[in-house]
Amino acid sequence: MSAYGTLPTSESSTQAPILLPSNAEAKSSEWRTRLGEKLESKTAHWTVLWLVVGDAFCVLTEIIASFFEDCGSGEYSEHWFIQLLGNISLFITALFVLECVGTLIAFGPKFYLPPYPHWFLHLLDAIVVTTTLFLEIFLKGKEREVAALLILFRFWRLIKIMEAVALGVTYEEDDQQRENEGRVETVIQQLEREKNKTAELKKLLSQNEEKVKQLEEENAKLKANVV
């Protein structure tokens, strides 16, 4: 009998071995699933958008500050504040690259290939983030600041947030509709039970009326016999 992951021996050459996932593979799949859920959550998308806004603010402030400094002194010299903004922007871009790496680990290459939903935007997103980080590291001065504006393309995530919100509203409406349908079904069943009870009461009332008539007839006969 062959072991896991090996070729079949001569004794089992006519039957392919059944390969079961090991505990390590199961644990790997589990944490990758959890990682993917966190990266694709609405909270993660909002966090990325706010980081994009912060990055854009840093870059635009850096460009404006360097522009006024250039106009005033006649030469470009980075102030400590401009350097701080540049470092913050670089740090945010590095976080974006880590996010793309985490996405690749969680979902695999299929995340960036058709027919995965928004695959082209995911691929463009990874290219933009990687290119931005590369340019911010190797370019200096105004060229680096302008190149950092590429990160604004990450605002496409608004599409995913709007999609998530729309799906959430749809699911909520579906749940509400199912709940209302359940309530209507319960009311209909109660009405059916009440109708059955009413029919039984009418039947009992009719039987009692017949018994009363019979008793009245017997009473009348007894009175006639007595007389």
Q: Which one, of 56, 46, 48, 65, lies nearest residue 151 by Cα?
A: 56
Please, what's the b/e burial string for 172-193 (b: 16 or more CB within 10 A of its CB; e: otherwise)? eeeeeeeeeeeeeeeeeeeeee
Tell me whether residue 75 is in a domain.
Answer: yes
pLDDT digits (tens, 9 = 90+) for 140-172: 766 666 666 676 677 666 666 676 666 667 767
- Per-residue pLDDT for 77 more than 60? no
pLDDT digits (tens, 9 = 90+) for 2-12: 332 333 334 44
Give, in degrees to the nearest 5, the angle at Cα 187 between 184 and 192: 125
Tell me whether residue 167 is in a domain.
Answer: yes
Backbone angles phi and psi of 41, in degrees to 5:
-75, 160
pTM, entire model: 0.54
Cβ contacts of 155 within 8 Å, gap of 6 or more? 49, 52
Local confidence band at 60 (pLDDT 50, 70, 90 cut-offs): confident
- DSSP 3-state of 18: coil
Tell me whether residue 57 is in a domain.
Answer: yes
pLDDT digits (tens, 9 = 90+) for 15-48: 444 444 456 666 668 888 888 888 878 788 788 8
As a whole number of angstroms, the distance between CA 210 and CA 207 comes to: 5
Tell me whether residue 11 is in a domain.
Answer: no
Tell me whether residue 211 is in a domain.
Answer: no
Tell me whether residue 2 is in a domain.
Answer: no
Local confidence band at 101 (pLDDT 50, 70, 90 cut-offs): very high
Number of domains forming the structure of the chain = 1
pLDDT given at position 18: 45
**What domain range includes position 164?**
25-175
Tell me whether residue 221 is in a domain.
Answer: no
Tell me whether residue 105 is in a domain.
Answer: yes
